[in-house]
Structure 1
Amino acid sequence: MLRPRTSNSWLVAAVAAALLVAPVPTLAARQKAAKIECTVRNQAGEPVAGAHVVATSPSAPDVRIEATTDVGGKFALTLDRPDLDYVWTLDAEGYERLVTVLEIDPRYPRSYDLVMTSADSPEARKRRAVEVYNRGVDELRKGQAAVALESFRQAVELDPKLQAGHRAIAEAALASGDAATTAEEAEKVLAAEPDSVDGLRLLLESSVSLGDDQRIEGAAKHLAELARAGNAQAAQAASYAAVLVFNDGVAAEHGEDFEKAEARYTAAADLDPKLPPAQAGLAIRRLAAGDAAGALGHADQLLALDPGNAQGLRLRYSAATALGDPALIDEALAALEASA
């Protein structure tokens, strides 16, 4: 015998269908809002009032929450989306900007203590000095030497002990055509680090522009000593400086300041013993001074560097003639004719 269906069967089916279509709560909806309480103090433990607080999230650009600390340095916020990672930025007059991340767990409400650093504290000044210095480096790379010079000066004012500060000022001053400032700052570099190759190079280059014989002689001698001692950086700088010093000697020769010219040729040869023009210049000066033997020695050094050097061969013949040595004259003449 057939029995009728129970009267509640339709209800079971309806409930099952309803369960299938009921919306599932989102993660954010299930999460509990987080209450944040913070106290902001300075390094002395005093409350920082009026600090502007901004909370943002890299993963949700549309989220921005703001607050301001009260007279007790406190602020409170409710985060409706505690699942996000927040970056907290605090700004207050007279203080460095503070950017921090707080570990937030809505299950365990807690208060936070934040410390802002005075903008005039030694630590803050050092950090700003580095920032300004790096800005100056970028400006110098862009060819903005005058602007970079002011940035470097500001960096040193913020932190007088900033490494490379005076060297940077000297570099920027040199690029700006201010040889006097370059020399002054290079002296400061060398006072702190006597064997600084950059300091010596800058002092030498600026002193050539200033015509400061004493500084040129001292810097060239020291740089040459470092190069001979095997300092690769010094050797490279000495080779560069030798050309500058030699050219200054040529200018002196044209101005008929022969004593200065010979001093520059001597310094150039000391800086770079492999610079042929320096040996040629010294040979010419020795011949003019009546020192044939000295001229012959420099001519020989020139030819050792460049055996076929026409000027060297002529200078050697002139020196041999001045010495009056027949055998040496014949030898020098033969070499000169062979090169023609």
Structure 2
Amino acid sequence: MLISVLGPTACGKTSFAVALAQRLGAEIISADSRQVYRRMDLGTGKDLADYVLPDGTQVPFHLIDIAEPGTKYNLYRYQQDFLAAYDDIRARGRQVVVCGGTGLYLESIVRGYNLSHVPQNPTLRQSLEGLSLDALTARLAALKAQAGTALHNHTDVDSCKRAIRAIEIEDYNLRRPVGEREFPALPVLNIGLTLPREERRARISARLRSRLEAGMLDEVRALLAEGIAPDDLIYYGLEYKFLTLHLIGRLTYEEMVAQLETAIHQFAKRQMTWFRGMERRGCTIHWIDALHPMEEKVAAALELFRSTQSSTL
């Protein structure tokens, strides 16, 4: 049985997943849309030290540092990479824990989305070039309305490039049936970590200050120096968007920090909205208070795992 660990940013998912994996002899597959990129460490919160146990051994992890900055990793590729990692881990007789805060990636696994690759449409792209972000957002919302869905993933309209790609995908899916390739139905135990709103906000603010002090601005500066286009970094959103806007002179440092902090708080709220939506769409999530001691959280998760396994036998 696959175990998924989910929750909003700054709730301690990674350290909890590592502690749980240690007890189960499991390996971890990341479900984070930005941790796939190499040299994007502080801004994506990889926290690789969390995977190292007190005795110096490391809990194996997958789908981190697998793509170059400036490229466009996507959900279709994530599903392919997830299955390859999952099959490899299971073939070696080990348990799998998938951990992350990218709701779309997680839901595509636990609900078995069937996807087909969406190629670029040069004609459509040319027709959209020059439109404002507001106009592109309206176009995307209209396409989603035709498909009977809502514009709930606002990262799709963080920039004109992202909006154009989202329109391209919606247009393609409206004209063709989605998913020629079956994604296997995996038995899943979903464990969510939850935090009181004020505690979550305090952790986000403290973590942002810590990462800035640790050199997050230098990380983005180095990515620009190696030739990655500012628009490509802005495409990744949140930290990379606002730090890049500061470094290219469009925001002062104070404006950058204030706007980024607000954006991360809004992102965490959207994450919880997504996870609640997963529950409405039929996913059972067992919520555990992130403020409980680690041993209590792990013990609760292990009890859920044992009871769920026995009920499926």
TM-score calculated relative to the size of structure 1:
0.16
User: Which of 1 and 2 has higher RCO (CA within 8 Å, sep 6+)?
Assistant: 2
Q: TM-score, normalised to structure 2's length?
A: 0.17
Larger radius of gyration: 1
